Amino acid sequence: MVSIPQVEMALVTGGAGFIGSHLVDRLLADQTEVVVLDSLASGRLENLVAWNKNSNLQFIKADLRNLDKFPKVVVDCETIFHLAANPDVQSSSCDPRTHYANNLVATLNLLEAIRKAGNVKSLVFTSTSTVYGDAVEIPTPEDYSPLLPVSIYGACKLASEALIVSYAYNYGFNALIFRLANVTGSRSQHGIVHDFIDKLHKNSEKLEILGDGTQTKSYLHVADCVEAILTGIKRLSERVEIYNVGSEDQANVKQIANVVCDEMGLKNVEYCFTGGVDGGRGWKGDVKIMLLSVEKLKKLGWKPRLNSCEVIRKTVKELLYEGN
């Protein structure tokens, strides 16, 4: 487990959410003072309940989309982890304006607060593998181009990256951008594993599967994701650094369904594939094949501890335990 660099006080936007709350766990466990800013639109206070009596945690309910004036305690933080976002890739094609506001407008408002405060040293941003779109180079490295996202979500994340880079160079803070593969684990409230479990609880005999079942992607456990973030910030030396974060293999949709059914003790479940769109994708904007190169981050000493199928199996166990 990587040691956390000396940070007196950190702001975590979206800190009551899935990945954010796991990051908060690590920061607080290492005695860092943490300010969590979350609108609770998708985040949950129960994700932070273990730290209710910890004096190092301060929670502020606020919405970055509409926040004109940041509380003083926020601008006093020299390190900011920006995880607040609408993470539902699938819904972005149906509601582009909401994703634009939750991802891009929120990021711009935060950057303006950083500019006005003038004391922020480091901004860490969780981006996404979807900025690459349908990459023809697999595994896909950080310097792959052109970046042609096929989802509104990916486009908003890529635009956020561009804003962060330009603000970092213009206003003198360091920026660390992580392009995440599919991150899953305890507390996750969306994604394929969560959706399959929910569907099978409702009907244990049939499972609807979006697409043609051949969608193949990389899956990373949230604990490995947090370790990657902390590894990157510990070794931050350039004005801007970009890292891919993912496992080194893939799992397809049918493999995931098999693991979920196995862990739920279900046999002879009928898989009902919808056939999908645009060549078997689950939905408009779905990237059908994804595998990131993580060689750059591995050179810093990080590597995923679980492969994709192990991640899926561990996640099913965690989510089933939480549901009891």
CB atoms within 10 A of CB 202: 8
> Phi, psi (5° rounding) for residue 76?
-80, -15
pLDDT tens, 172-223? 999 999 999 999 999 999 899 999 999 999 999 999 999 999 999 999 999 9
The pLDDT value given to residue 89: 62
Q: Which of 100, 153, 167, 243 is catalytic?
A: 153
CB 285 within 8 A of CB 92: yes
pLDDT tens sequence across 98-150: 889 889 999 999 999 999 989 999 999 999 999 999 999 999 999 999 999 99
Q: What is the tens place of the pLDDT at every residue in 250-290? A: 999 999 999 999 999 999 999 999 988 888 998 888 999 99
Count other C-beta atoms under 10 Å from residue 66's C-beta.
11
pTM: 0.94
DSSP 137: S
What does the pLDDT look like over 24-44, one tens digit per residue? 999 999 999 999 999 999 899
Top-confidence residue, 149 or 8? 149
Reduce the DSSP state of residue 301 to 3 states and report it: coil
Domain 192-216+250-290+307-323 fold: UDP-galactose 4-epimerase; domain 1 (3.90.25)
Whether the per-residue pLDDT at 2 is higher than 60: the answer is no
Which H or E element spans position 216?
strand 216-217
Residue 132 appears among annotated catalytic residues: no
Confidence of residue 171 (pLDDT cuts 50, 70, 90): very high
Residues with Cβ within 8 Å of 299's Cβ and at least 6 positions away in sequence, in order, are none
Token pair recorded at residue 290: 């994804």
Are 292 and 179 spatial neighbours (Cβ–Cβ below 8 Å)?
yes
pLDDT band at 5 (very low <50, low <70, confident <90, very high): low
The neighbour count for residue 145, using CB atoms within 10 Å, is 8
302/296 Cα distance (integer angstroms): 9
pLDDT at res. 55: 95
The CATH number for 9-184+220-246+294-298, chosen from 3.40.50.10800, 3.50.50.60, 3.40.50.720, 3.40.50.620, is 3.40.50.720
Q: What is the pLDDT of residue 85?
A: 87
Could you give the residue range(s) of every CATH 3.40.50.720 domain in the chain? 9-184+220-246+294-298
pLDDT at 4: 54
- Token pair, residue 249, equals 């293999």
Give mean pLDDT, residues 49-53: 94
Q: What is the pLDDT of residue 58?
A: 95
Instruction: Tell me where in the chain the CATH 3.90.25.10 domain(s) lie.
Output: 192-216+250-290+307-323
Tokens standing for 46?
């129960």
The CA distance from 322 to 193, in Å, is: 14
